[in-house]
């Protein structure tokens, strides 16, 4: 039996990465000599960093994740932003375009920092990657060293909790400091400028055999990373490095969803929401995305708090990675989301401004982002989720507790579409919403809004139906395709396109059975079958690629289950059904005339 130790893994990883990523694919010659991880490696695409003659200058990005909007039981106002006083999660940038260090056995990392302020300066060493959402960041196996007030604090996350174990070492440490971290068996030994500071237990942080780097400067501070090297302790356990400086196009199989759709008489785009971290660091995820889908929606990386974290700071790198990957692989990009009431950084929600200033802020935001991606991003969710869930009789059913509505009333929607259109006249512009799939009060509110927008000549091209669906007790309890069809037809009559923008079907079950997977599959395929009959359908997109990283994954112990590929990247029954619908070979319906599911 083949047992994978870290050396085998690193070899396989290097090999796979070479095959899949291309470019500088050869690991540097392995040796016990000190391996330079800065010179010749990609630090220019690292968020918050600039390459200078003195080293890598790390500046604060202010990137933080706002907590989820929670609505206490005693209020029935669902769009009140109650997160205002809750704590932010810091979201330090990761050099996902940069070098990956391959390690085996024992080794030493050396970093020289020149610190220019009393603010905290951190380096991060990722043994596994965090999963980053809109409202939290689930840290993987990570070591952080924080240099502050003349002390050095090492913190260790073991990959099963968001809590870290930390220890503070030293005092009066100088502002130019060389830190060495030596892994010796199950200990990590910390040395500063040649003096041993102490040690901590290593819970196997780097047992995967790879390390990705990150850094963070606290607000008001900067530092220079002057040196970063690695050295193995034993000639038999050499360290090596992999770079990701070139992207290759993947071959697309004829059976894939995108190929099946392309062969149809009226092809539609087959989309998926994608996150930059797995796209750049997980070769299996990356090849799946390119093989199966013809359109990408960045799941979170273009949201306000990620792409525009401070007033004059735009951090495009992660979104650029996604867009470049898509273009290399002949995929379209659906941008998401220019204007939303969620994922807003504190500088937007907590500053008092005049209406004119808010209007200017929104204009700058839209024009800068759409302008940056002009000709590259084919379409945009210009306004996301503008409608309330309840109390629809006030403010025309529009959410009002957000800076955009407060500054401009309903006309923020007109303004946002006009600004986006001015920035890229060729981009298709969408309004994206949930809970509008079936006829009802929320759809009526949307319909009335669209009529007003169209009467005012607002440049809107289509509506995204999010389609986050559910199962309960083994039954599909989501939107009924027939009812969705009537809404899609009413949108068509307004001269607008429709797209299914974020489909997933939550099993809401602890144990997955063949039956559940089949019911789920029918939910997807019946919806797609209906959608393909609509002449105004532009695309069908799922909200994620694999259950391993999906928005239904809430904590360390549970993965999601709502998508087409399972946690091991294998196609689920839902995939096969969707594929059959696209190839037009599927049987007519998953249900008999009474609406009962017919099992295969």
Q: Looking at the annotation, which residues are catalytic?
A: 385, 502
Query: Which residue stretch of 132-140, 483-491, 492-500, 521-529 sits at the interface with ligand XIL (rule: CB under 6 A)?
Result: 132-140
Q: Does 384 bind ligand XIL (CB under 6 A)?
A: yes
Complex with ligand XIL: residue 127 or 435, whichever CB lies closer: 435
Q: Does 83 bind ligand XIL (CB under 6 A)?
A: no
Complex with ligand XIL: residue 48 or 544, whichever CB lies closer: 544
CB of 446 to ligand XIL, least distance (A): 15
Q: Does 134 bind ligand XIL (CB under 6 A)?
A: yes
| Two tokens, residue 30 | 């392995």
50 conformational bin, left if phi > 0, alpha if psi -120 to 50, beta if neither: beta
The string of DSSP letters for 239-251 reads: BEEE------PPP
CB of 385 to ligand XIL, least distance (A): 6
Q: What is the DSSP letter of 140?
A: -
Size of the site for ligand XIL (CB under 6 A): 11
Q: Does 551 bind ligand XIL (CB under 6 A)?
A: yes
Q: What is the DSSP letter of 67?
A: P
Compose the 86-125 pattern: x for residues touching ligand XIL by CB under 6 A, - for all others: ----------------------------------------
CB of 436 to ligand XIL, least distance (A): 12
* Phi–psi pair at 429, nearest 5 degrees: -115, 130
Can you tell me the distance from the alpha carbon of 335 to that of 327, in angstroms, rounded to the nearest whole number? 13
Task: Name residues contacting ligand XIL, limited to 451-490 (CB under 6 A).
Answer: 466
Nearest to 273 by CA among 46, 481, 466, 485: 466
Contacts with 456 (C-beta within 8 Å, 6 or more apart), sequence order = 414
CB of 432 to ligand XIL, least distance (A): 6
Complex with ligand XIL: residue 114 or 299, whichever CB lies closer: 299
Nearest to 299 by CA among 63, 479, 94, 553: 553
Q: Does 138 bind ligand XIL (CB under 6 A)?
A: no
CB of 297 to ligand XIL, least distance (A): 9
Place of tokens 């997109």: 541
Query: Which residue stretch of 2-10, 133-141, 196-204, 512-520 sits at the interface with ligand XIL (rule: CB under 6 A)?
Result: 133-141
Give yes or no for a contact between 181 and 211, defined as CB atoms under 8 angstroms apart.
no
Cβ neighbour number for residue 490 with a 10 Å cutoff: 17
Q: Does 316 bind ligand XIL (CB under 6 A)?
A: no
* Phi–psi pair at 16, nearest 5 degrees: -60, -45
State which H helix or E strand residue 369 sits in: helix 355-372
Q: Does 297 bind ligand XIL (CB under 6 A)?
A: no
Task: Name residues contacting ligand XIL, limited to 496-535 (CB under 6 A).
Answer: 502
For ligand XIL, the binding residues (CB under 6 A) are 133-135, 299-300, 337, 384, 432, 466, 502, 551
């Amino acid at each position: 039996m083949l047992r994978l130790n870290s050396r085998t893994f690193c070899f396989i990883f290097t090999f796979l990465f070479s095959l899949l990523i291309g470019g500088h694919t050869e690991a540097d010659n392995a040796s016990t000599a000190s391996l330079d991880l800065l010179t010749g490696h990609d630090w220019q695409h690292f968020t918050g960093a600039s390459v200078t003659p003195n080293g890598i200058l790390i500046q604060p990005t202010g990137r933080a994740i706002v907590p989820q909007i929670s609505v206490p039981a005693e209020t029935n106002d669902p769009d009140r932003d109650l997160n205002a006083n809750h704590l932010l999660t810091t979201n330090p940038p990761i050099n996902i375009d940069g070098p990956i260090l391959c390690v085996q056995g024992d080794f030493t990392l050396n970093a020289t920092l020149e610190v220019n302020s009393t603010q905290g300066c951190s380096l991060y060493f990722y043994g596994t990657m965090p999963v980053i959402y809109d409202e939290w960041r689930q840290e993987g196996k990570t070591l952080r060293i924080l240099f502050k007030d003349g002390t050095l604090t090492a913190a260790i996350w073991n990959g099963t909790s968001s809590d870290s174990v930390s220890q503070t070492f030293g005092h009066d440490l100088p502002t130019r400091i060389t830190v060495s971290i030596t892994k010796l068996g199950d200990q990590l030994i910390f040395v500063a400028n040649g003096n041993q500071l102490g040690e901590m237990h290593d819970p196997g942080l780097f047992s995967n055999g790879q390390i990705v780097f990150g850094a963070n400067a606290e607000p008001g501070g900067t530092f220079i990373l002057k040196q970063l090297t690695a050295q193995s302790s034993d000639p038999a356990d050499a360290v090596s490095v992999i770079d990701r400086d070139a992207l290759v196009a993947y071959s697309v199989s004829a059976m894939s969803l995108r190929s099946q759709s392309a062969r149809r008489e009226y092809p539609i785009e087959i989309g998926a929401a994608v996150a930059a971290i797995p796209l750049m660091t997980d070769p299996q995820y990356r090849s799946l995305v390119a093989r199966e889908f013809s359109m990408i929606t960045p799941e979170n990386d273009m949201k306000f708090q990620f792409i525009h974290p401070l007033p004059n700071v735009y951090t495009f790198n992660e979104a650029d990675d996604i867009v470049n990957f898509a273009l290399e692989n002949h995929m379209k990009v659906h941008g998401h989301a220019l204007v939303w009431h969620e994922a807003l950084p504190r500088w937007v929600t907590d500053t008092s401004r005049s209406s004119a200033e808010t209007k200017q802020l929104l204009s700058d935001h839209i024009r800068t982002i759409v302008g940056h991606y002009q000709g590259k991003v084919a379409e945009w969710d210009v306004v996301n989720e503008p409608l309330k869930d309840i109390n629809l009789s006030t403010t025309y059913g529009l959410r009002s507790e957000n800076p955009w509505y407060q500054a401009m009333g309903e006309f923020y929607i007109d303004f946002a579409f006009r600004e986006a259109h001015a920035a890229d006249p060729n981009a298709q512009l969408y309004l994206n919403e949930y809970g509008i799939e079936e006829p009802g009060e929320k759809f009526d509110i949307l319909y009335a809004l669209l009529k007003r927008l169209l009467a005012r000549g607002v440049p809107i091209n289509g509506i995204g139906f999010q389609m986050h669906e559910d199962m309960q007790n083994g039954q599909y309890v989501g939107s009924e395709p027939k009812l969705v069809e009537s809404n899609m037809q009413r949108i068509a009559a307004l001269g607008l396109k429709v797209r299914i923008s974020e489909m997933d079907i939550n099993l809401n079950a602890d144990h997955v059975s063949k039956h559940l997977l089949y019911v789920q599959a029918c939910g997807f395929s019946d919806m797609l079958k209906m959608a393909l009959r609509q002449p105004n359908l532009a695309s069908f997109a799922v909200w994620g690629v694999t259950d391993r990283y999906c928005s239904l994954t809430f904590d360390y112990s549970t993965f999601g289950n709502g998508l087409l590929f399972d946690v091991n990247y294998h196609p689920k029954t839902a995939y096969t059904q969707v594929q059959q619908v696209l190839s037009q070979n599927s049987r007519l319906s998953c249900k008999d005339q009474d609406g009962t599911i017919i099992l295969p």
